[in-house]
Structure 1
């Protein structure tokens, strides 16, 4: 479980790192809004369901109360007829001298829509009087009828029977109707003496049926039925199917329910049952509302709510996308501007429109970049000044060094009586310094640099007469290019002092200028004794001084440093040498076509 949670968290982090700020804002806003909507929707749906169930129960109970009121009124009217027949007719007449037929007929005629018959029986079950006039069937023994026995057992009470077919009396048309019998014990007066009897009032079952049928308990359907205290069905809209065992009803369980609303599961169907007791009878009026129809309504409501939620989610996602776009677009613009700045662009606009904080951030970054550019310009200017100072120092190191060596040669020649040669040497020295000065310019034509090398060789050949020969050559077009001045002379100086001093007429120095891969290369090669590769590799080290040799190698390192300071890392001096195989020194600089092309480090070509 922990691994699963860990993988889910890692996937979320990976998605979070890959997603844009607009996507994160949109998803976050939408998720929060949808969660709130779902929670609110479920709360309202549950509240609506509970409220609907409550209202349905209340509505059904109101309908049941109304039906109960009508049924109670109907039964009370029958009870009043029974009281009228007993107290106003039977108790006032002595059956020894008079009959009650006329009064019972009048009572029957006044209520014939509700009544089927009114009959009085003696204690032995003999017919005393009946309305309308009819003959008791010979096969019937009233004293053993359930209504008769109940009346005898409940002297002070009225007894209502369950619906049954009235077949006590002869009917020439054989029309026997369904009735509900109301029976009670009465006192009959006969010859001044009282004896027990039974008053039977048969009310038309159709009146009860009319009250109970076609009652709509709820919009989703429902029905009601009537049972006695034992759960026997008095009325049911599908009574015939129940009697035929084609349909079942939960009437026996309903008889145990107290008055009120109940939920039950019957034959796999959930339904709501409302129970009301009919006064004076012990009957119970049972209303049944199937909840399946309500669930269908809930399904429709749920689908509608789901549609509303989905539409709202779509609308919220669109709105959140637009809102997040208003926040993320300025941030993306700042990000693009920063990337342009990282790519080296100098003209970057950080002024963006959006929320106040983002605009303030853009102005702050713009101010920071402007300050940075000013600082960079100051640093570049300082570096250039530093480079110029360093170049001036290095250049000043060359002139005294070379002047010392040349004057040493002049002194030597003068001491040896070689006046003409010393005059020529001084003349070459003057021309040499004229080129060296170059009116203060650091970048001179390659032709002048090679001319400077030729005058220097003239001076040195006069000093080391017959010890070496020299040849200077250049490819077409190379002399018209430009280079740093005084880069060849220090190399020649090292070649003469360390390679030609002991050549004894067989020394040779070759200077050749050419183009290689777009760069200017001036190669100085000699056939001197050479040196080990380890020594050649260390000669350009600033802090290295060759032991036991004449000179400190300052000229070679000086040239290398000046080229690096002016043109950058790719350029400078390289040395190739082996013992007894001579030395080749290569000077690599950019091929400058104008004297102004080399004013910055690495800006040649």
Structure 2
């Protein structure tokens, strides 16, 4: 028994080892078998999702088309209603501004003019009427007799007109019951347009109300024509607070047979909504009518959308199944075609890894493998090129910064300034001489900046202001300088000596020789994470043929006499902060020039300054 028990574990271990070896043999180890199996499984899964996605996409597209149709139809209908209301406003304006404003009611009668305007627009109107502030009828067309029991001041359109004197007011549909009409015994459904008007009685103003009763049937016919052409949906019109103006089932609603979601629709902004009303899902599209705040609402039951979708489901399933079979067949061919180029590509990469940087990447096989080979080759070439460019860029940066340091003290400027100081002392203009010396000392203090090339914008602007103070005295205030600097940019960092060269250009090439007073403006502001400093002058401007070459090495643009120079400033900014920053020049001949400095907003901390001084572009 003891030996038998020992043999059972040995038998189990042998079986497990055999099973493990068998499974290892079945496990695909070649790239071809791995791709074939993987592609097949992925293809089947993809086809499943593809079928579902196709169906959902078709469903979404169909719903979108239905929504777009509703939006277009609603926009067209809203436009028609707005055009009609606009005509009514124009009629009211014509009566008020062209007739009532120019009439003295103490000695003149309005009836003829009102009748003429009514006859010209009677297809869309029911009546015109003008009332005094106490409700007395002044004039009306075509009916002139007011009912004895018509309480005009209690009418909603009358009180609303006086509640907001400057506006025109549209009422909800109602039966016109103000006048006696012996020739027509019909009841007229109207929408009243009322406004408060000023009446002239012998030079004394009095208030009144101008009433224009529009024919409600005009709007009703517009909406009925829309509802007839769209059997799957309907449109209704309500006020901004949910009062009904038009509904195709207005009678059923009044009798309680049919319900509508007026309150919620009135709260919707313009757009598309899905709602569940009385157990029915539906799409609601809302558009607001100008002048009135009325809301035109389109309602489409979602059940209409699903009609005919069953055949689409069968079609999607058939297409997915056929595509899956085709992809399984294609996977076999693709794996054979892809395997060999991948091996060659792998071997060429191993050579590069071994240090043979002069070796070429294999390019061939399928388009994907060929593209991968070309991409790797381009990357290798780009790495080699960038290594060379880094060396060149560092050399250019050192040269540019050296040029900037060498140009910090312009000998010509210094000579002229000292000469001006001597002249002032000889002329006993001591206060001006002291001011010049103080400004010159401050200018040199910022220029030196303890050898730093990165300084706060506040210091850079102080340096520019010192420079301009000196120049204004030298040129005997031949120009003015205005500063408009946002306080938040002063505590940010900048490359040193970038504003003064722009001001120097503005003086010598802009306003120096002007017959009239020159104006120079320095404006600084921040937008999001960027800082902009503008130097604007009203000088002669830059010729259009030279403007595109100012910031290039092209010899067609003159760059002499500008201190550090615009191109130097532009390159120094880009070397320090990146290609997206630098200068932008806008100029019109005889109009002036605007040069904009574009910098990143970098807080003026010592850590940031040291990073920029040592490491180049700010990260």
TM-score, normalised to structure 1's length? 0.46
Query: If you compute each CA radius of gyration, which structure gives the higher value, 1 or 2?
Result: 1
